[in-house]
Structure 1
């Protein structure tokens, strides 16, 4: 297996990419989760350094000035997300392959940055209605925030052609098996 490759999963919010990424991390020990940096507040069940590197807006902007990011973006007004170069180096020093769970624009930027070293997968929800239902089940956000996420999801769906593969997440078990297959084909690993 070749080192210094990256696997990128992107999708609109609530499409299921995090569930797929967690499955792959549990199944394949050669993968390591790339922890993004963000200025968004930590949710009650999240742990700093495991879920995200939580930075203040000033800290994030300082890292931008230091050119410490492989990519970054203001995903929502005042909310920045980015991939620190030091995070990728940490994973590669462990001899592992970086696995990303990242928004659509970030995924496109990472693919441009890493080129043929990267496999970019767009996780496609069955419909916008299904996305709305999934966001409702989460019960983590206000109606205004859900509406903002759905509007953004509608825009993000138009970028699926910018990814190497599109993975339909209509049936979770099928999507998990297909994700494994895509990953192993990219890494040229025997599926014995």
Structure 2
């Protein structure tokens, strides 16, 4: 039995708030962390590998997994289904390994409401201002003005759900935010529900105490 159970670490934010950078820094900080590999019904793109980038599935198989409770969360996006298979996550957390989830508030809610919900740690990343959020999206140079506009329109809907998360970090300084994120993860790993040996230790203490009274 491992010393602790793993955490399901959920990171959410509007696009451009720094979530992906923070997630990769976490994985560099602790290489036992891994991303949850999502399942999808869309076709693989050039260079994508099944089981590494995504689990590529047919629609009937995906729907079967949803109906039998084998998906922690799922969504229908632009004509395709996406979801997080439950079995590999269960295996990881029972082995003491944390799993990172890059999902929106709806995915986060589904995971928290699942039977693995007690092992979740949800963190929302806020930008310091809307102006700064737009500046970061523009400076990335990855999206057209139209796409940036759509991301900005969507950002407030995402931000409005900040109150449903365990922790909220304002990413006004990346290094400082990362230090706070590490502190949160370190502390949450010691949560009572994450320590499977505690009950046996307490029973042992109780037995020892009773023996001393005889």
TM-score, normalised by the number of residues in structure 1:
0.80
Name stretches of at least 5 consecutive residues in structure 1 with no aligned partner. Answer: none
Match of 2:4 in 1: 2
Greater Cα shift, 148-157 or 177-186: 148-157
Aligned equivalents of 1:33, 1:18: Cα separation in 2: 11
TM-score, normalised by the number of residues in structure 2:
0.73
The answer as to 2:118 corresponding to 1:112 is no
Deviations, residues 79-101 of structure 1 (Å, cap 9, x unaligned): 54321113313423654122222
Please report how far the alpha carbon of residue 71 of structure 1 lies from its aligned counterpart in structure 2 after TM superposition.
0.8
Please report how far the alpha carbon of residue 43 of structure 1 lies from its aligned counterpart in structure 2 after TM superposition.
7.0
Name stretches of at least 5 consecutive residues in structure 2 with no aligned partner. Answer: 192-214
Aligned equivalents of 1:142, 1:57: Cα separation in 2: 31
Please report how far the alpha carbon of residue 52 of structure 1 lies from its aligned counterpart in structure 2 after TM superposition.
3.4
3-state DSSP class of the match of 1:177?
Answer: helix
Greater Cα shift, 135-144 or 164-173: 135-144
Please report how far the alpha carbon of residue 160 of structure 1 lies from its aligned counterpart in structure 2 after TM superposition.
0.5
Aligned equivalents of 1:38, 1:132: Cα separation in 2: 30
Bigger radius of gyration, 1 or 2?
Answer: 2
Deviations, residues 79-136 of structure 1 (Å, cap 9, x unaligned): 5432111331342365412222222221222122233311110111122222222222
Greater Cα shift, 45-54 or 152-161: 45-54
3-state DSSP class of the match of 2:160?
Answer: helix
Whose strand proportion is higher, 1 or 2?
1
Q: RMSD across aligned C-alpha pairs, in angstroms?
A: 2.8
Count of residue correspondences: 188
